């Protein structure tokens, strides 16, 4: 239940984050024992780059506590969508925070919103959507792959989020979102190979006052086909965006500086002809920024659109 609300102490069965560093985190379940490959129940010991952790020892400990490992230290953190995205088990390629933040902003999500998601995958975006619409909203998420849908359902149950989400195993391009959702949804998100095939079904689930639409596509051709389908079905404000994140590095750099103050003054009349007035060289330190040598690669295109109220379509 560690995702449901802020907590002080770790309970048995909670999902917790083992924080070793900014680029080294792990998610584990706080269970004292696990079942090994032979079907035997054994002590739950988690191995990290700083040594082993007896998971039994963290149950009852406060979140944020520094714990001792066999070869170093770590911190125990309560999970949130941002940390879960960095540590979750990958069943598919996932959407990361830069794209997710734009999706939530553009879909105008708030507590109480009802949203449809097709392409549950590993559940990275799903946890962010649930965080935005709780406690009075609801997420309806679809995946055509039966095993992935079942794994996602189990995760939501373990994280204490099952009251806010319904998981469906269905190919929405062929079968749509179901008659039970028609006219009940504020926003639709698609992460599909052929999103244009699901656009006609998406129109049916929007409320009479309309709503916002988003599709994530790795290729520009997918985005183009989606834009054409959106235009043909009465959507407006259609646009495609690509979010590229860049981290500038702040460093102190030493620069050579030439002092040319001598040119401001006339050469003394009594100076020797052999006397030379050369510029002096100083070294100064400045705080500056550098762009990284490598840049984050392309992730995908986000296509957004608005479905107008029913009287304006």
Q: Tokens 């696990």 belong to which residue?
A: 34
Q: What 3-state class would DSSP assign to 230?
A: helix
Pairing of strands 211-217, 187-190: parallel
Cβ count within 10 A of residue 78: 20
Distance CA 50, CA 77 (A): 17
Report whether 123 belongs to an annotated binding site. yes
Cβ count within 10 A of residue 210: 20
Report whether 125 belongs to an annotated binding site. yes
Report whether 57 belongs to an annotated binding site. no
Cα 37 off chain centre by: 33
Taking a C-beta distance cutoff of 8 angstroms, is the pair 48, 98 a contact?
A: no
Report whether 143 belongs to an annotated binding site. yes
Q: Tokens 């002809």 belong to which residue?
A: 273
Helical (H) or strand (E) element with 129: helix 124-133
Q: Residue positions in the annotated binding site for S-adenosyl-L-methionine?
A: 122-125, 143, 191
């Amino acid at each position: 239940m560690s995702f449901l609300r802020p907590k002080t102490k770790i309970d048995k069965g909670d999902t917790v984050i083992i924080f070793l560093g900014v680029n080294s985190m792990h998610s584990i379940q706080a269970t004292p024992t696990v079942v090994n490959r032979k079907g035997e129940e054994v002590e739950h010991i988690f191995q990290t780059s700083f040594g082993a952790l007896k998971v039994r020892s963290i149950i009852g400990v406060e979140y944020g506590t520094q714990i001792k490992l066999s070869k170093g230290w770590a911190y125990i953190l309560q999970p949130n969508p941002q940390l879960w995205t960095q540590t979750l088990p990958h069943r598919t390629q996932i959407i990361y925070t830069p794209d997710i933040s734009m999706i939530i902003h553009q879909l105008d999500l708030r507590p109480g919103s009802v949203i449809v998601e097709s392409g549950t995958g590993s559940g990275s975006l799903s946890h962010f959507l649930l965080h935005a619409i709780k406690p009075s909203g609801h997420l309806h998420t679809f995946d055509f792959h039966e095993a992935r849908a079942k794994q996602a359902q189990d995760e939501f149950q373990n994280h204490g989020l099952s009251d806010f989400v319904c998981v469906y195993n269905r190919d929405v391009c062929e079968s749509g979102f179901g008659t039970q959702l028609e006219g009940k949804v504020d926003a639709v998100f698609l992460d599909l190979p052929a999103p244009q095939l699901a656009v006609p079904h998406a129109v049916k689930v929007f409320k009479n006052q309309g709503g916002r639409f988003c599709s994530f596509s790795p290729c520009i051709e997918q985005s183009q086909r989606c834009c054409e389908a959106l235009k043909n079905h009465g959507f407006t404000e259609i646009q495609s965006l690509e979010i590229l994140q860049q981290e500038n590095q702040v460093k102190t750099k030493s620069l050579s500086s030439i002092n040319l103050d001598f040119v401001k003054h006339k050469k003394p009349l009594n100076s020797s002809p052999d006397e030379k007035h050369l510029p002096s060289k100083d070294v100064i330190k400045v705080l500056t920024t550098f762009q990284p040598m490598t840049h984050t690669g392309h992730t995908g295109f986000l296509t957004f659109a608005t479905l107008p109220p029913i009287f304006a379509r």
